[in-house]
Chain A
Amino acid sequence: AQSVTQLDSQVPVFEEAPVELRCNYSSSVSVYLFWYVQYPNQGLQLLLKYLSGSTLVKGINGFEAEFNKSQTSFHLRKPSVHISDTAEYFCAVSALTGGGNKLTFGTGTQLKVEL
């Protein structure tokens, strides 16, 4: 089984400042890693994913994440945030095999960008 920990439930940040949203996972097998964003009363939109290869993954809206196998982390970063980035961010993992495509989500981090 897999588990995901997002330690920060809320992250306030000023506009144009950098931000990092933390994600750690636990799994006995290799995993795929995802970051999703959810705006109020909407479904989830994929920001980026790590499947294999380069550990630095670039996604939409200027976000990027780095897979660190030794630290079992997949932190999300953006060098300069905008007001429009205010949303809920979910980290998720899926087992490469045997998981039946299931995603295991973290509890989410609310990013609040202030002027």
Chain B
Amino acid sequence: GAVVSQHPSRVICKSGTSVKIECRSLDFQATTMFWYRQFPKQSLMLMATSNEGSKATYEQGVEKDKFLINHASLTLSTLTVTSAHPEDSSFYICSAGTRISYNEQFFGPGTRLTVL
């Protein structure tokens, strides 16, 4: 139980294009979803928190116009990196939580974004 998927697992795009990453909770309803960014050999940096049906809450320093987050249903959240640049290349990980999970988050497998 508590499986979270991400799609795509890897994406390579040209500078200036936009990329959408999907995060799905497969066997439970996720009241809250989180998006993280991880640089090589570093810890996870929380980018934003989203609750179903409401606007995402972004962490300080994260550009909300660049990283668009949509949490349209209890099983799907999307992260769109708009006008991507090489410095946006990173490993993006989503996670999902429920009201009864004692703050535990269930993590997706991650998406490797490379911007050329």
Contacts and interface: CB of A to CB of B under 8 A. Distances in A.
Interface of A: 32, 34, 36, 41-46, 49, 51, 90, 94-96, 99-103, 105-108, 110
A26 to B, nearest CB: 16
Contacts of B43: 90, 105-108
Interface residues of B, number: 26
B32 A101 contact: yes
Q: Chain B interface mostly helix, strand, loop or mixed?
A: strand
28 contacts: A32-B102, A32-B104, A36-B107, A41-B91, A41-B112, A43-B4, A43-B6, A43-B107, A43-B108, A43-B110, A44-B107, A49-B102, A95-B103, A96-B103, A99-B103, A101-B32, A101-B34, A101-B49, A101-B101, A102-B46, A103-B46, A103-B95, A103-B103, A105-B43, A105-B44, A106-B43, A107-B43, A108-B43
A35 to B, nearest CB: 12
Contacts of A99: 103
B105 interface: yes
Contacts of A108: 42-43
Q: Which 5 A-B pairs have the closest CB atoms?
A: A94-B103, A43-B107, A44-B107, A43-B109, A101-B97
A49 B97 CA distance: 15
B116 to A, nearest CB: 19
Contact of B44 (A51, A90, A100, A110): A90
Nearest to B51: A100
B79 interface: no
B21 interface: no
Which of A43, A44, A51 has the most CB atoms of chain B within a 10 A radius of its CB?
Answer: A43
Nearest to A99: B103
A42 B105 contact: no
Contacts of A51: 102
B56 interface: no
B103 A32 contact: yes
